[in-house]
Structure 1
Amino acid sequence: MRRKAVAAALAIGVVLSLLPVYQSQAWWSNGHRLMTTEAIKLIPDPEWRQFFEHYAYFLNETCVWPDSIYKAEDPMEEPRHYYDLEIPPDKRTYRDGVLPQAVHNYTMAMVEALKRGDWFEALALAGRVAHYVEDAHQPYHCTVNYNPMDKHGLADSLVEKHWGELTLDLSAPIEPIDNLTQFAFDIIVDSNRKVARLNATLIGDPNDPSDDREWSDDLRDLISEQASRAIVAVARVWWTAITMAGVEPPDLSQSYSISVDLAAPDRAKTRLLAEATVIDGLEIPLDAEVTWTFGQDSGQARRADVGLYKIRIDSEVLQKYAGQTVTLTVKAAKEGYGTAEASAQIYVEPLEVPTPQPSGPALELKWVALIAIVVVAAVVVILLLRRR
C-alpha cells in the first residue's frame, strides 16, 4: 500500500507539473532548492543532519511541490503562500492569506509523520513547510501591494539568479520554536517592513520607466539578508518538529536496498504505456538505471521524476507478439543499492486486418464492366423510345 501511495504521489506530480501555474512562485524553484539545501547544514543533531543530507535530493523536489503540484491540485493552496498584512483581522478572509497557519499546520503534520516513522511523508512535509517559510521572507508575499510596477516576478528570481553574489549570515542559533504561528507572523511583519526598501532598490523612480534597478549593492544586501533569515528559519522549524516528535532518525543502512513497482495494463494493441516506481529500503523514491524487456525486445525507461520512470512500447514492437501473452520485465539498478525486478503479463491484441479492396487489373475490369452495363442500358432505352 505504501508503495502505491508513493507511485501515486509521483505520478500526480508529473501530470500536474505540465499544467500552467499562473500564481506567483516566490524565489523560483531553484531559489527554494538552494535555500533548503543550506538549511540542512544547520540542523544541530549530527544524526538527523546526516538523515536530511542523505535525502537532500528528495527535499530538493518536495520543497518545490507547493508551486509545481499543490497549487494545481488544491484550490485552497494559493493563500498558504502569502499573507496580506495590511488587512485588519476583522475584515480578513481565507483569500487574504494564511501563511502563518500553514507553517504551523504542516510542521505539526511533520511531527506526526516522524512519530509514525513515515519517512516519505516526513520529508514531503519538511519540503512543504520549508517552501512556506521561504515564501514568508519574500516581501511581496506579505503585502496587498504584491506586484508594484509588475516587479513581483523579477523579485522572485533574485535568489536563483544572483545566488553566487549573496553574502549569507547563518550564525543565528538553531533553537526550537515555542509558537509556530507567531513565529511565522513575526517573519511576515519583518518582511512587510522591507517592502518599501525593496521597492526603492528594485523599482527606482516610478515616474521614470528607464530607471530599472534590476540589481544593485543595496538590492544584493537586502536579498542576502532575506535569504539568510529564510535558511535559519527553515532549520529552526525542522528542528522544532524533530524535538517535538522525540524520535531517533532511522538507520540509514536500511536505506541501501532497492525495489521497483510496475504499473502496466493487462492488454495492449497499438501502444503499451507503463510506469515503474523505484524506492529505497526506507520507501523513499530513488533514481536508478531502469531498463525493460518485452519478449525479445528491450529498451531504456525514461525518467519522469525522482524515482518515477515511463515505459512506452509502440505498435511496431507489440505486433511482433500479436495474439500472445508476453512478459514485460523492468529492472532497476543502482550502485550501492543492488538491483530489483518487477514484471507483468500482457496480452497483445492483434490488429484488425482490413478487408482487401480490389486494385490494379481487377479494379480496372470492374470499371469496364460497369461502363459497359451503363452503355447497354442506354442503348436499350433509346431503342424503346424510337419504337414509340
Structure 2
Amino acid sequence: MKNFKMKSKLIIGMVIGVAFLTLSWGIVGHERINKAAVMALPQPLQVFFYNHIDFITQEASVPDIRKYALKYKEENPRHYLDLENFGPIDSLPKTLEEATKKYDAKFLNDNGILPWFIEDMMAKLTKAFKEKNRAEILFLAADLGHYIGDAHMPLHTSANHDGQLTGQKGIHSLWESRLPELFAKNYKLNVPEAQYYEDVHKATWDLMKDTHSLVKPLLDVDKKLRTATPENQVFVVDADGKIVKSKYNSNKFSDEYAAKLHQELNGMVENQMKKAIAATSSFWYTAWVNAGKPDLSDLDSQELTKRNSKALKEDLKLFKKGDLFGMRNQND
C-alpha cells in the first residue's frame, strides 16, 4: 500500500507544518473520513482504493495546505457556503457556471462555492474513471473527500462561521479540530456500504441542508454552556488569572470545557463524521458507476493487489466493528 510513497512523505511534511492553521476537521478528522470511506466501498472498487489507502488518507488535508500554506486565492471559497447570505436554498443556481453569472466574484469569494465545487469535482472524477487515469482518480477522490468533509461541518454552511456574530468566537476550531483530537479515538466510524446517488445535485444539496440545520443547535449548546461556566474554566488561564492565548492569538479553550461541550452536543461530532464517511464513499462509488464501472484492476500490479488482499480482509473485520485502529494503515 505504498504507491506514491515520495508524494505521501512530502504531503505529511507539509501537513505537519500547517496542522494548527487548518480550520476544517483538522488532520484527525479529514484523514479518518477518507480512510473509513475506502473501507465502505463495495468491491471491486474497494480493492483499487485499498491499494492506495495510505495516499488517499494522507492526501486528505492537502486542500487546506493549498488554502493556508500555499495561499491559493481560488482555494478559499471552495471550503464553505454562507447560506444565510444567498437567500432560500431552492432559489440558488444549480451549477457553478450559473452561480458565477448570478453573483460577482467578490460575493462568491466572500460567501463560498462549496456545493457547486463538489459537483464540479464529481464531474472531473467521473472523467478520470472513464479514462482510467490512476493519478487523477486518486488525487481527485482524495480532494473530493476533503470538501465533502467540510460540507458536514455545520459552521462551514453559515455566515456565523466562528460564532463571531454571537459572541462565541473560537467555536469553529473547537468543534471540528479540538474535539476530534480529544475524542475521535472513541468514535465508532463504521458505516453501511456506499450507495449509488441517482441525482448527484440532489444528494449534494440534501447534505448541505442537513448540515445547515445543525448550526443553531450547535451554537445554542455552546452559548448555554459558556453562560453557565466561569470564564476561567472555559479557557486556560495562567498563574495571574489571564486567559492563555494560542500561538495564533486566539483564546485557548480548556480540555475540561471541551469535554463538557462534547458531552452536551450528544454525539453530534461523531455523527457528522460518520455522515461524511458515508457520503464520501457514495460519491466515489457514484462517479465510478457513472463512468461505466471501468475495470481498474490493470492499473496496479497483480503482485501489489495480492500482497494487500489479506490485509484488506483483516482490516474489513476491524472496520465493521467500528475500529480504525490496528488497521495496516497506521495514519492515526
Asked if 1:223 corresponds to 2:243, the answer is: no
Give the structure 1 partner of residue 54 of structure 2: 57
Q: Residues 145 and 242 (structure 1 numbering): CA distance in 2 closer, same or farther, change over 3 Å?
A: same
Map 1:327-346 onto structure 2 (within 5 A): none
- Larger mean CA deviation between 246-255 and 201-210 belongs to 201-210
Question: What are the within-5 Å matches in structure 2 for residues 26-65 of structure 1?
Answer: 26-44=24-42, 46-65=43-62
Instruction: Decide which moves more: 85-94 or 135-144.
Output: 85-94
* Matching of residue 180 in structure 1 with residue 200 in structure 2: yes
Superposition RMSD on alpha carbons, in Å? 3.0
In structure 2, relative to structure 1, the CA distance for the partners of 1:20 and 1:40 (3 Å cut) is closer
Does the Cα contact within 8 Å between 1:169 and 1:225 map onto a contact in 2? no
1:110 aligns with 2:125: yes
Partner of 1:100: 115
Aligned amino acid, residue 217 of structure 1: Q
Among residues 77, 81, 85, which one is paired with 1:79 in the alignment?
77
For these two proteins, the number of residue pairs brought into alignment is 250
Give the whole-Å Cα distance in 2 for the aligned partners of 1:181 and 1:24: 28
Superposition deviation, residue 60 in structure 1: 1.2
Q: Kindly name which structure, 1 or 2, has the bigger radius of gyration based on alpha carbons.
A: 1
Seen in structure 2, the aligned counterparts of structure 1 residues 174 and 22 have a Cα distance that, compared at 3 Å, is: closer
How does 1:140-159 map onto structure 2 within 5 Å? 140-148=155-163, 149=168, 150-157=170-177, 158-159=179-180
- Residue 189 of structure 1: CA displacement? 1.6
Q: Retained in 2: the 8 A contact 1:85–1:144?
A: yes
Query: Does the Cα contact within 8 Å between 1:103 and 1:181 map onto a contact in 2?
Result: no
Residue 182 of structure 1, CA deviation:
3.1
Normalising by the residue count of structure 2, what TM-score does the alignment of the two structures yield?
A: 0.66
1:134 to 139, 145, 149: 149
TM-score of the superposed pair, with normalisation by structure 1:
0.57
15 and 253 in structure 1: CA distance in 2 versus 1, 3 angstrom threshold:
closer
Aligned to 1:294: none
The 8 Å contact of residues 37 and 278 in structure 2, kept in 1 or not, is answered as yes
In structure 2, runs of 5+ residues without a counterpart are 88-101, 235-256, 305-332
Q: Contact between 1:63 and 1:126, CA under 8 Å: does it hold in 2? A: no
User: In the alignment, is the contact (CA less than 8 A) between 2:197 and 2:282 conserved in 1?
Assistant: yes
Aligned equivalents of 2:233, 2:203: Cα separation in 1: 36
Using CA pairs below 8 Å that are at least 6 residues apart, which structure has the higher relative contact order? 2
- Find the residue that maps to 1:176 and give its secondary structure: coil
Query: Whose strand proportion is higher, 1 or 2?
Result: 1
After superposition, the Cα gap between the structure-2 partners of 1:73 and 1:24, relative to the gap in structure 1 and judged at 3 Å, is: closer
1:342-361 alignment runs, 5 A limit:
none
> Aligned residue for 1:66?
63
Q: Between Structure 1 and Structure 2, which shows a larger proportion of helix residues?
A: 2
1:16 CA displacement: 6.5
Q: How much does 1:134 deviate?
A: 0.6
> Given that residues 82 and 112 in structure 2 are in contact (C-alpha distance below 8 angstroms), is that contact kept between their aligned partners in structure 1?
yes
Question: Is the contact made by 2:8 and 2:55 (CA closer than 8 Å) also made in structure 1?
Answer: no
Contact 2:37 2:280 in 1 (8 A): yes
**8 Å contact from structure 1 (residues 16, 68) kept in 2:** yes
| Deviation sequence 1:166-199 (CA, Å, 0-9, x none) | 244623x632223323322221221111112222
Amino acid at match of 1:84: D
Is structure 2 residue 170 aligned with structure 1 residue 166? no
The CA deviation at 1:22 is 9.1
**AA paired with 1:65?**
V
Amino acid at match of 1:101: W
Are positions 1:239 and 2:237 aligned together? no
Distance 1:70 1:7 in 2: 23
Of all paired residues, the percent bearing the same amino acid is 23
Cα deviation 1:285-337 (Å, max 9, x = unaligned): xxxxxxxxxxxxxxxxxxxxxxxxxxxxxxxxxxxxxxxxxxxxxxxxxxxxx
Paired with 1:10 and 1:163, the residues of 2 have a C-alpha distance of: 23
Q: 1:28 to 1:11 in 2, by over 3 A?
A: closer
What are structure 1's unaligned runs of at least 5 residues? Answer: 1-5, 258-388
For the Cα contact (< 8 Å) 1:174–1:239, is it kept in 2?
yes
Aligned to 2:308: none
Query: How far apart, in 2, do the equivalents of 1:221 and 1:16 lie?
Result: 31
